[in-house]
Amino acid sequence: MSMAPLTSPGPAPTATSGSQLLVAAAGGAPLLMRQLFDADTGTFTYLLADVSSAEAVLIDSVFEQHERDLSLVRELGVRLVACLDTHAHADHITGSWLMRQATGCAIGLAQVVGAENVTLPLSHGDAVDFGGRHLEVRATPGHTDGCLTYVLDDERMAFTGDALLVRGCGRCDFQQGNAQSLFHSITEQIFSLPESCLLYPGHDYAGRSVTSVAEERHYNSRLGGGANERDFVIYMANLHLAHPHRIAEALPANLRCGKPRASASGASQPQLTTENWAPIERSYAGLPELPPSWVGEHLDAVQLLDVRSSEEASGPDGSIPGSQLIPLPELTARAAELSAERPVVVVCHSGSRSALATQKLLKAGFTQVANLRGGLRAWNGVGLPMVQQLPSSNA
């Protein structure tokens, strides 16, 4: 086979612009809201974005879910202005510091907590602006003395952290917790919202994701249905719960806003698993990806695996110089043809089949693997070189 330079087979179909995608992702509404969940700790994280400005805030991030959250921010094309915590958590480590390192966003936490690395200390009555929207800060101490509830400007939704849960509430037996304070916080700062206000909790362990002021006033087992302060205080005093199993690790880390601390050995704890062979970015689907621009500059450092059919590779779309062809249906049987010592970047027409191939290689034990984001369509879109396989004279 002889190789000849190939001009681009034509521009890829016009992609949805970032602003159009955000409008669509919000269902045509002026506000986008995404509720995310960490199954290990039962923690909810919330992304709110003002569609018109594409500015966003993140509430109660989880350290181990940083790559997931950052991928969603990037894929939606929003600019994160603040990463907020409802309190200093005792059951998980916040991802706020990591998110500030990645995006430059502010770190917001109650000023009374006195945590390190906070750039946006918050107090009752403050407002956190994102685009043309804002969150009202309401102090709701009782679970801890630094608990905050974030109320959307139109009072249609509020993010209550651990102060008020679905049919329950946060415990009051550590971190300066106080049952009397929590009763007044909930009844005066949360139950004073419109009955139709949707309440989004910091945790749930039974598959419940949202409630409302009206529901909790009527059915909350601890302080709804006409229960008074005495009822609530006695109830909370008799819970006798075990302490969160991660409190010794989580609380000190959260007083640094999740910033890793160097250990005696020089290693930082906690840590995320990172790939150091390339600037890997994980998609919201959790797939390791690389942009065409980086791959184009490092072709000599990677194995470029093309998983299209041989007909496609020799057709008008062409191939990336130096790529190795192993069609996707043959990959499992032929994976040994790849070197385990060199990173593999997988490519196909659009990035779809190569995503599956990337997953297969990871399961097969290849540790340095990434999908070419957008496939050949993206490669062509930025004008990187292509070649076409031409039949030889004796073919």
CATH number of 274-390, picked from 3.40.640.10, 3.90.1310.10, 3.40.470.10, 3.40.250.10: 3.40.250.10
**Whole-number percent of the chain with pLDDT over 70:** 90
Would you tell me which CATH number, out of the four given (3.40.50.300, 1.10.10.10, 3.60.15.10, 3.40.309.10), belongs to the domain 18-269?
Answer: 3.60.15.10
> Is residue 349 within 8 Å of 308, Cβ to Cβ?
yes
Q: 18-269 and 274-390: same fold?
A: no
Which residue has better confidence, 186 or 10?
186
| pLDDT over 70 at 376, yes or no | yes
Give the residue-averaged pLDDT of 114-140.
98
179-203 CB burial, b ≥16 within 10 A, e <16: bebbbbbbbebbbebeeebbbbbbb
What is the domain partition of the chain in residue ranges?
A: 18-269, 274-390
For range 141-168, the mean pLDDT = 98
Instruction: Tell which residue, 155, 148, 165, has the closest CA to residue 200.
Output: 165
pLDDT band at 18 (very low <50, low <70, confident <90, very high): confident
Distance CA 72, CA 46 (A): 11
70-84 tens-digit pLDDT: 999 999 999 999 999
Tally of helices (H runs) and strands (E runs) in the chain: 12, 24
pLDDT tops 60 at residue 7: no
